[in-house]
Structure 1
Amino acid sequence: MKSKTCCSSFLENSKPYIAMISLQFGYAGMNIITKISLNGGMSHYVLVVYRHAFATAVIAPFAFFFERKAQPKITFKVFVQIFILGLLGPVIDQNFYYAGLKLTSPTFSCAMSNMLPALTFIMAIIFRMEKVDIKKVIYQAKVVGTIITVGGAMLMTLYKGPLVELPWTHHRKPLAKATGAAAAKETSNRDWLIGCILLIIATFAWASLFILQKAALKTYSKHQLSLTSLVCFVGTLQAIVVTFVMEHKTPAWSIGWDMNLLAAAYAGIVTSSISYYVQGLVMKTKGPVFATAFSPLMMIIVAIMGSFILAEKIYLGGVVGSLIIVSGLYSVLWGKHKEEQQPQQEGNHINAELEDQIPQSIRTKQVTNGNLQLMTNAENVNKAINGDISTTHEMPIKAEEAHRCPSLVINLPLSDPKAT
């Protein structure tokens, strides 16, 4: 029984980790497929529209069947939250991210996304979702880690460096280049810099999305599918408006049974509907900083997949910057982990102090197999009243005082009847 309990407890505690690791594999696949689609000439504005149309179509039926009852009222405040969530996600984050992805590479884009935990941490401090006591080491680690992460991102932005050749990509032609003339030439340094800036803006919008989603979950704590559906639907409408303004070519809307359809469907189902919902579940228990802590894993997966599938070129600036970002990131995560452990340790320390303060007059003892056990809970006090357990002072305990154990008795020592 004990082993089963430990196993079930382990699985329960592992759920947030398994969920976020699984999402990173989903994000990695999206980066590869989307890169091929964008290099094939698909407009990223149109891709965002189709992506969230698919997401809405997939998640809305589940929300309707499982969360119809007791729906929260959509007040003006709630509507503004949903509107801004849709604006941050589909319109700003994904459009800028896709534009930056097209000008750089999947691995580089994922590496820049590693800034996400640091930016989320900074915004969480601003909105008082995180606390900082600079005198303590754990908070110093979080602050220093944030600075290191931002520094690594700046290095990747300003320094491209020489090409790092990989053994299996030396004599291969990139698959993505064969899909369209848009990818037939090397990305210039100017385009690379523009792509970096676009990716930073996208990451900032993504961090803002996590912060606001955490606030919106207070209203939709029991209706997360509904919140996801509303965000995807509103985001689709906003993306349509932006696409009509930015994309004036009617043929850009055409989509067939090709990589463009796969990219839109995959991104919509996996990295919009499912990811928004899973992130919401994780953030309810672990907070926004934890939910963004697994992005380095996505970078590793994409680097491996991109080198094999796309014969992607990796530059020294990206490698060095990635290592700096990851080191800073895990400095932040170490501080976060220690911060989460602190209340439990403090609670154990307080309990130990309170136990020492419990008056001897209500401490009961019982000898079992030669071991002396001290018991202070109300049940044992009742046993002492009935004579089942002898007290340390061999004195009776008044029945009217038993119901006050174990809370009030700490501060109110029991009187000795012999003294009265």
Structure 2
Amino acid sequence: MEDQTSGNGFSKRLHKLKPYLAMVSLQFGYAGMYVITMVSFKHGMSHWILSVYRHVFATIVIAPFAIVLERKIRPKLTLPIFLRMVVLGFLEPVLDQNLYNMGMKYTSTTFASATVNVLPAITFVMALMFRLETVNLRKLHSLAKVIGTAITVVGAMVMTLYKGPALQIIKGHGASNHDGANAESSDQNWVVGTLMLIASCGGWASFFILQSLTLKLYPAELSLTAWICLLGIIEGGIASLIMERNMSVWAIGWDSRLLACVYSGVVCSGMAYYAQGVVTRERGPVFVTSFSPLIMIITAALGSIVLAEQIHLGSIVGAILIVFGLYSVVWGKSKDEIKTTDTEKGEGHELPIKDSNTRSGSDIFDNIEVNVTGEKNVPAEAGARS
């Protein structure tokens, strides 16, 4: 009996840890993608073509699993749902990725990954607008979410307006040559690149919000992922044909360009869209985006070692503010999760034992469940006693 109880306790803890492990793992995947992508750009890869090929590989990997595993649970595809998929296929595969890659080319991988820290704040504000998050300023945890969002925005402004002196973390000939070659270009395009990165975060946040709303009508994560990737190929292909008139850019060899397409497609499109969709349904879009600061730390280390990039003082100061504000938001969000779990599921508290004949009206209404469509399911006992 004790072994069974301990086993159940371990499985429950593991189930609670799964969303955290999934999101942390994705940040390592994203950090690796940023470095590999930057290397492919230095070898002549077009970011427009990369976006298309990326989703070709993602579709090849995800579509068979979606067809087989969700054949019995896949909802009917209606026109409103399909139109949402079309928008999803544009927001992240086309708009976000191309703006991000252009911004990263104008700045650096470290700065680009640091700018992603503004993503949770944008997502939080949009979630409030679409009533996916609630705020009560009389509660400490709600106030922490608002203050944390404001601090995050201030940190992003510091990173945008103040570059500061370069900090030589890893000394070597490669670092000095790299910085000397790109100093003038970075200074000239720093503001433009930053605006592109912030705009890409806006597109990415919109993607998370719309994905959350779409999954309520189409609760099939693999199928939705496959549709997003397929539509991303079509829409990205049209954009690429408009922006890239030279057809030779479509040719890639057995080098870093092919590696960037395969890696980013399988890990950061196919697997990421699916994992984010699953966690979004369980915890919400704000939770999913709250782990993005890890990308900054991982990418800064990889960028300094692999690409010999320097980190600037403005990036560090802004990043510290962003991380502090972000985890103020996460702390407030965690308190929301605890309250929701305690009130709706009754976990972690012993229910008072009352005689069935002495139950009050408030006890009955406390057991009314609200489903995702907003309809109230009143227990049969409550209906009989009303």
TM-score by length of 1: 0.80
Q: How far apart, in 2, do the equivalents of 1:37 and 1:175 lie?
A: 21
Q: How far apart, in 2, do the equivalents of 1:71 and 1:31 lie?
A: 33
Indicate conservation of the 8 Å contact 1:176/1:310, yes or no.
no
Distance apart, 1:219 and its partner CA: 2.4
Q: How far apart, in 1, do the equivalents of 2:73 and 2:10 lie?
A: 35
Partner-residue secondary structure (3-state), 1:74: coil
Q: How far apart, in 1, do the equivalents of 2:97 and 2:351 lie?
A: 53
Match of 1:403 in 2: none
Match of 1:374 in 2: none
Q: 2:43 aligns with which of 40, 43, 59?
A: 40
* One-letter code aligned to 1:264: C
Distance apart, 1:122 and its partner CA: 0.3
Please say if 1:162 is aligned against 2:165: yes
Match of 1:140 in 2: 143
Distance apart, 1:79 and its partner CA: 1.2
Distance apart, 1:345 and its partner CA: 5.1
Match of 2:377 in 1: none
Please say if 1:26 is aligned against 2:23: no
Match of 1:330 in 2: 327
Indicate conservation of the 8 Å contact 1:63/1:225, yes or no.
yes
Match of 1:228 in 2: 225
* One-letter code aligned to 1:99: M
Q: How far apart, in 1, do the equivalents of 2:331 and 2:218 lie?
A: 30
Indicate conservation of the 8 Å contact 1:145/1:327, yes or no.
yes
Residues 330 and 241 of structure 1: CA distance in aligned 2, closer, same or farther (over 3 Å):
same
Match of 1:12 in 2: 15
Distance apart, 1:290 and its partner CA: 0.6
Match of 1:194 in 2: 192
Match of 1:173 in 2: 174
Residues 176 and 339 of structure 1: CA distance in aligned 2, closer, same or farther (over 3 Å):
farther
* One-letter code aligned to 1:8: S
Distance apart, 1:188 and its partner CA: 3.1
Q: How far apart, in 2, do the equivalents of 1:231 and 1:70 lie?
A: 18
Q: Identity, % of aligned pairs?
A: 47
Match of 1:313 in 2: 310
Q: How far apart, in 2, do the equivalents of 1:360 and 1:231 lie?
A: 51
Match of 1:342 in 2: 339
Q: Which runs of 5+ in 2 are unaligned?
A: 359-380
Partner-residue secondary structure (3-state), 1:231: helix
* One-letter code aligned to 1:189: D
Distance apart, 1:118 and its partner CA: 0.8
Please say if 1:287 is aligned against 2:288: no
Q: Which runs of 5+ in 1 are unaligned?
A: 363-406, 412-420
Residues 7 and 288 of structure 1: CA distance in aligned 2, closer, same or farther (over 3 Å):
same
Residues 27 and 361 of structure 1: CA distance in aligned 2, closer, same or farther (over 3 Å):
closer
The one-character-per-residue Cα deviations of 1:199-230 (angstroms, maximum 9, x if unpaired) are: 00000100000000001111221x21111000
The one-character-per-residue Cα deviations of 1:382-411 (angstroms, maximum 9, x if unpaired) are: xxxxxxxxxxxxxxxxxxxxxxxxx88xx9
Q: How many residues align?
A: 357
Q: How far apart, in 2, do the equivalents of 1:353 and 1:120 lie?
A: 36
Match of 1:64 in 2: 67
Distance apart, 1:177 and its partner CA: 5.2
Residues 228 and 343 of structure 1: CA distance in aligned 2, closer, same or farther (over 3 Å):
closer
Q: How far apart, in 1, do the equivalents of 2:181 and 2:193 lie?
A: 17
Larger fraction in helix: 2
* One-letter code aligned to 1:28: A
Indicate conservation of the 8 Å contact 2:178/2:308, yes or no.
no
Q: How far apart, in 2, do the equivalents of 1:311 and 1:32 lie?
A: 11
Residues 188 and 24 of structure 1: CA distance in aligned 2, closer, same or farther (over 3 Å):
closer
Q: 1:149 aligns with which of 147, 152, 157?
A: 152
Match of 1:212 in 2: 210
Match of 2:133 in 1: 130
Match of 2:122 in 1: 119
* One-letter code aligned to 1:30: M
Q: How far apart, in 1, do the equivalents of 2:47 and 2:31 lie?
A: 18
* One-letter code aligned to 2:268: T
TM-score by length of 2: 0.87
Q: How far apart, in 2, do the equivalents of 1:47 and 1:150 lie?
A: 30
Q: How far apart, in 2, do the equivalents of 1:263 and 1:341 lie?
A: 40
Partner-residue secondary structure (3-state), 1:170: coil
Distance apart, 1:107 and its partner CA: 1.4
Q: 2:271 aligns with which of 270, 274, 278?
A: 274
Indicate conservation of the 8 Å contact 2:90/2:232, yes or no.
yes
Indicate conservation of the 8 Å contact 1:157/1:196, yes or no.
yes
Match of 1:297 in 2: 294
Indicate conservation of the 8 Å contact 1:141/1:335, yes or no.
yes
Q: How far apart, in 2, do the equivalents of 1:35 and 1:353 lie?
A: 56
Please say if 1:81 is aligned against 2:84: yes
The one-character-per-residue Cα deviations of 1:229-271 (angstroms, maximum 9, x if unpaired) are: 0000001100000011111111111101010000011000000
Once superposed, what is the RMSD of the aligned Cα atoms? 2.5
